[in-house]
Amino acid sequence: YFSTENDSIKDLVLLSRSAIFIYEKKYLEALQELFNTSDDKNILRTKNIYLATAYYGLNRFSESEDALLKIENDSLVRNNLHKLFSKAIRVQKRNPKTARILSMMLPGLGQFYSGDIRDGINSLLITSAFMYLTLNTAIQYSLLEATSVLPWFSRYYMGGFKRAESIAVNRIEEKQYLLFTQIMKLVRDN
Same domain, 108 and 38: no
CB-CB contact of 61 with 88 (8 Å): yes
Residue 1 forms part of a structural domain: no
Q: Which domain holds residue 139?
A: 96-171
Q: Look at residue 101 and tell me whether its pLDDT is greater than 60.
A: yes
User: In whole angstroms, what is the distance from residue 188 CA to residue 41 CA?
Assistant: 18
pLDDT at site 140: 93
Residue 124 forms part of a structural domain: yes
Same domain, 11 and 86: yes
Same domain, 151 and 58: no
User: In whole angstroms, what is the distance from residue 120 CA to residue 18 CA?
Assistant: 41
Residue pLDDT, tens place only, 5-64: 777 888 999 999 999 999 999 999 999 999 999 888 889 999 999 999 999 999 999 999
Same domain, 120 and 156: yes
Same domain, 118 and 148: yes
Question: Residue 58: phi, psi to the nearest 5?
Answer: -90, 5
pTM of this structure:
0.82
Question: Residue 5: phi, psi to the nearest 5?
Answer: -95, -10
What's the burial of 67, exposed, middle or buried (CB within 10 Å: 0-12/13-18/19+)?
A: buried
Strands (E), the chain: none
Same domain, 82 and 104: no
Name the domain count of the chain: 2
Residue 73 forms part of a structural domain: yes
Question: Residue 178: phi, psi to the nearest 5?
Answer: -65, -40
Same domain, 181 and 161: no
Same domain, 12 and 80: yes
User: In whole angstroms, what is the distance from residue 102 CA to residue 65 CA?
Assistant: 33
User: In whole angstroms, what is the distance from residue 147 CA to residue 156 CA?
Assistant: 15
Residue 167 forms part of a structural domain: yes
Please give the average per-residue pLDDT across 132-154, as a whole number: 90
Same domain, 165 and 100: yes
Residue 179 forms part of a structural domain: yes
Same domain, 28 and 45: yes
Residue 130 forms part of a structural domain: yes
Nearest in space to 164 (alpha carbons), one of 97, 105, 118 = 97
Nearest 10 degrees: CA dihedral of 4, 6, 10, 16?
Answer: -110
User: In whole angstroms, what is the distance from residue 103 CA to residue 34 CA?
Assistant: 43
